[in-house]
Structure 1
Amino acid sequence: MRGQSSFFEHIGCTKHRGREGEILLTLQVQPEILTVEGTIPPGIFSSMLDIVIGSTIAELVQQPTTTVNLNINYFDFTNCGPFTAVGTIIWRNEKLIAGEGSVLDRDGNLTAKAAGTFKVMGRSIE
């Protein structure tokens, strides 16, 4: 599993493997990332989803990936952390891979969901 960026360390996010080998991102909410209303900024969830889907794909192909498209639905910005993001692959061809990701709060409630398409950089997927 590849490392994580200093941005994610700064906001309190860690990357690890789940029970079934899937890549998970966990966010321990830091006070400095909250909005003035005390909610989670949508950009935090979008970053988590982009990274968890991209990391899931990169782990499969062992190549760097880049986001081509990412569609996100937000359901709840309440600070009910820690939050966990998980990604899955739903389609692939030689150059592009599509995935989905979900962010769940501490009680397992869906807070955000995304579908994205990622380009594999470098060699073709076999």
Structure 2
Amino acid sequence: MEFQVHIPFVAHLGFALRRWADGEAEITYDPAPEHLNSFNVVHGGASMTLLDVVMAHAARSVQTDMGCVTIEMKTSFMQAARGPLRATGRLLHRTATMAFTEGHVFDAQGKLCAHASGTFKYVRRLPVGARESQPLNGPAGISTD
């Protein structure tokens, strides 16, 4: 299954979308050596990115014409993550503009490595090649790219 939108950082990490439907998402990730920390386990930032992406996909799975942006995320690490990982995300509740989700990261033995909760805001997605009239950040009228 292909990601609907190309996100360069997600492609760089090598995430693979396995499920994306009915308020649920599953992504697998085989970390490369450069994704490890000084203890030779998956860097927490890579695990948090995995959780962020899987929860966002769970939120978007019920309304695929919208994008969503992270409002807040809380992550708890239970144990070091090693080897191929599997992340699951689930939509817990949604309103017209917000999604409340949870996510889990499991190692190859099925052990829970990390848990997260996240809140996402639904945003309209621009057609490919379109640009907003105002930048997303920075003073009005000053381009930040």
- Any runs of at least 4 consecutive aligned residues in structure 1 with deviations exceeding 6 A, and if so which? none
Structure 1 residue 22, shift from structure 2 partner: 4.0
Structure 1 residue 78, shift from structure 2 partner: 4.1
**Which structure has more RCO (C-alpha within 8 Å, separation ≥ 6)?**
1
Partner of 1:6: 8
Partner of 1:44: 46
Partner of 1:64: 67
Partner of 2:37: 35
1:85 and 1:32, CA in 2 relative to 1: closer, same or farther beyond 3 A?
same
- SS, match of residue 40 in structure 1: coil
Find 2:76's aligned residue among 73, 76, 79. Answer: 73
The amino acid across from 1:76 in the alignment is: Q
Pair member with larger Rg: 2
Which structure's residues are more often helix, by fraction?
1
TM-score, structure 1 as length reference: 0.85
Contact 1:105 1:111 in 2 (8 A): yes
State how far apart, in whole Å, the 1-side matches of 2:54 and 2:28 are.
10
The amino acid across from 2:45 in the alignment is: G
Equivalent pairs counted in the alignment come to: 121
Q: Deviation per CA, 1:14-37: give whole Å up to 9, x if none.
A: 11227x994211111211111122
Structure 1 residue 92, shift from structure 2 partner: 1.3
State how far apart, in whole Å, the 2-side matches of 1:96 and 1:12 are.
28
State how far apart, in whole Å, the 2-side matches of 1:111 and 1:49 are.
11
Contact 2:18 2:27 in 1 (8 A): yes
Structure 1 residue 122, shift from structure 2 partner: 3.0
Contact 1:4 1:15 in 2 (8 A): no
Partner of 2:118: 116
- Name the % identity: 27
TM-score, structure 2 as length reference: 0.75
Q: Root-mean-square deviation (CA), in Å?
A: 2.1
